[in-house]
């Protein structure tokens, strides 16, 4: 029995973006089959199927739409197999495709290349089958207390009362709230004429990295302090923390990127999908660990 909007197959519904997507799909009257590798609780309109891209559970032969909030490369490979038909395929990718394309770090270049290959494969297999495919590329995601950037910073700042950055962290950022991404993803399912391409999904405000961090710290209860160190001193501190296992993965490339602008144009997604992201007004609850 369907609930009105149609029947949709969702991957990655247990993730930070997926959770917001499921809530919106149910509110919009979609009948949802969601695949997860771990046990999840069902609710009206939502049926969880246990499995993943490697071990797919039995699925219907066709859906009105397929929406992936999981890893794009796995999804594109599964979709190319063509076992489930759908006129509409929407999948999350990442602006890392463009941001890390020319990185000095080979692992980052590899990530960008994998994202690009996955997008190309998804568009090609969907075109062959006459499906309308859309890739949604978020910038820096926040809002659900599950992101690995701002929520992690907030956790560190809560413990010590301060957060340290190198001076000159003025590169521009566009943090985007999970619920704004979810709204755009659900709109994409019925956006006729918008298929066959990717859309960057930035947040509704462009601000310097240090200002983004300062706003998060000011929103915490109690607020935490931002300490800006001369870059060589910050590098020494980061190296010491890495050597003692208290910091992971924040190397020279990541530090250099704090000065780089990572800015994306919201206009195509606004026009085609109604993407209308909010300005960046962080609240403590958005970074509460879950
Ligand atoms: N977070 C960001 O800042 C950000 C920025 C840009 C783009 N994105 C993209 O947006 C999408 C969703 O991001 P997110 O932050 O919501 O991710 P997330 O919280 O890590 O959730 C991803 C979900 O994908 C599923 N998944 C992961 N590996 C899988 C596998 N091998 N097989 C099947 N399912 C798998 C997991 O579901 P189960 O464990 O239930 O199976 C998980 O709930 C991803 O494509 C991500 O690259 C995220």
> What one-character DSSP code corresponds to residue 208?
E
> What one-character DSSP code corresponds to residue 92?
E
Instruction: Provide the pLDDT for residue 104.
Output: 84
Mean pLDDT within 189-207:
95
The percentage of residues in the chain with a pLDDT greater than 70, rounded to a whole number, is: 99
68 vs 250: which has the higher pLDDT: 68
Instruction: Provide the pLDDT for residue 270.
Output: 98
Instruction: Provide the pLDDT for residue 282.
Output: 98
- Flag whether pLDDT at 289 surpasses 80: no
Instruction: Provide the pLDDT for residue 201.
Output: 98
Ligand 1 centroid to residue 232 C-alpha, Å? 35
Whole-number CA gyration radius for the chain = 20
Ligand 1 centroid to residue 68 C-alpha, Å? 9
53 lines ligand 1 (CB under 6 A): yes
Q: Tell me which residue has tokens 């109690």.
A: 222
Determine which of 77-81, 244-248, 285-289 has the lowest per-residue pLDDT on average: 244-248
- Flag whether pLDDT at 138 surpasses 90: yes
> What one-character DSSP code corresponds to residue 61?
S
Mean pLDDT within 187-194:
93
Of 9, 12, 42, the one to substitute when testing ligand 1's pocket (max ligand atoms within 8 A of C-beta) is 12
Ligand 1 centroid to residue 112 C-alpha, Å? 16
HSE-CB for 121 with a 13 A CA cutoff:
18
16 lines ligand 1 (CB under 6 A): yes
Domains in the chain: ranges and CATH: 7-287 (3.40.50.720)
* Sequence-distant contacts of 76-80: CB under 8 A, at least 24 apart: 76/118, 76/119, 76/121, 76/122, 76/125, 77/53, 77/118, 77/121, 78/53, 79/121, 79/122, 79/125, 79/126, 80/121, 80/122, 80/124, 80/125
Ligand 1 centroid to residue 72 C-alpha, Å? 9
Minimum CA distance residue for ligand 1 atom 35: 70
Ligand 1 centroid to residue 82 C-alpha, Å? 22
Minimum CA distance residue for ligand 1 atom 27: 70
pLDDT band at 249 (very low <50, low <70, confident <90, very high): confident
Mean pLDDT within 274-281:
98
Instruction: Provide the pLDDT for residue 2.
Output: 55
Q: Tell me if 90 sits within 8 A of 9, measured CB to CB.
A: no
Q: Tell me if 40 sits within 8 A of 52, measured CB to CB.
A: no
86 lines ligand 1 (CB under 6 A): no
> Mapping DSSP to helix (H, G, I), strand (E, B) and coil, where does residue 209 land?
helix
pLDDT digits (tens, 9 = 90+) for 204-236: 999 999 999 999 999 999 999 999 999 999 999
Q: Tell me if 201 sits within 8 A of 21, measured CB to CB.
A: no
Instruction: Provide the pLDDT for residue 290.
Output: 75
145 vs 253: which has the higher pLDDT: 145
Query: Would you give the end-to-end CA distance of the chain in angstroms?
Result: 34
Mean pLDDT within 28-49:
97
Q: Which region, left, alpha or beta, applies to residue 185 given φ > 0 means left and ψ of -120 to 50 means alpha? A: alpha
70 lines ligand 1 (CB under 6 A): yes
What six digits make up the tokens of 33?
């089959």
Handedness of CA 42, 47, 50, 54 (dihedral sign): negative
Q: Tell me if 277 sits within 8 A of 202, measured CB to CB.
A: yes
**Distance, CA of 37 to CA of 16 (rounded, Å):** 15
166 lines ligand 1 (CB under 6 A): no
When the pLDDT of each residue in the chain is averaged and rounded to a whole number, the result is 95
CA nearest neighbour of 182 among 51, 47, 7, 30: 30
**Distance, CA of 287 to CA of 147 (rounded, Å):** 8
- 158-172 burial, b at 16+ Cβ within 10 Å, e below that, comes to beeeebbbbeebebe
Are β-strands 65-68 and 6-11 bridged in parallel, bridged antiparallel, or unpaired?
Answer: parallel
147 lines ligand 1 (CB under 6 A): yes
Mean pLDDT within 64-81:
97
């Amino acid at each position: 029995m369907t609930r009105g909007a149609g029947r949709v197959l969702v991957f990655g519904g247990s993730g930070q973006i997926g959770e917001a997507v499921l809530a919106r799909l149910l509110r919009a009257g979609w009948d949802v089959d969601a695949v997860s590798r771990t046990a999840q609780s069902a609710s009206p309109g939502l049926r969880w199927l246990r499995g993943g891209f490697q071990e797919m559970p039995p699925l219907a032969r066709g859906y009105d739409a397929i929406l992936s909030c999981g890893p794009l490369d796995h999804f594109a490979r599964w979709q190319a197999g063509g076992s489930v038909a759908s006129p509409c395929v929407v999948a999350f990718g990442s602006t890392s495709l463009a941001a890390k394309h020319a990185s000095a770090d080979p692992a980052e270049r590899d990530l960008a290349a994998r994202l690009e290959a996955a997008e190309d494969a998804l568009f090609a297999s969907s075109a062959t089958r006459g499906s309308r495919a859309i890739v949604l590329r978020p910038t820096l995601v926040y809002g659900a207390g599950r992101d690995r950037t701002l929520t992690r910073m907030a956790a560190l700042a809560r413990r010590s009362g301060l957060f340290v950055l190198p001076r000159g962290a003025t590169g521009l950022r566009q943090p985007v709230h999970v619920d704004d991404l979810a709204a755009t993803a659900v709109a994409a399912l019925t956006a006729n004429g918008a298929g066959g391409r990717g859309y960057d999904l930035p947040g509704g405000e462009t601000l310097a990295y240090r200002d983004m961090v300062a706003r998060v710290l000011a929103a915490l209860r109690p607020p935490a302090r931002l300490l800006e160190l001369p870059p060589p001193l910050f590098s020494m501190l980061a190296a010491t923390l890495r050597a003692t296992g208290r910091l992971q993965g924040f190397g020279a490339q990541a530090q250099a990127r704090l000065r780089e602008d990572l800015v994306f144009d919201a206009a195509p997604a606004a026009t085609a999908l109604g993407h209308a992201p909010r300005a960046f007004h962080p609240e403590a609850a958005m970074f509460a660990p879950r």
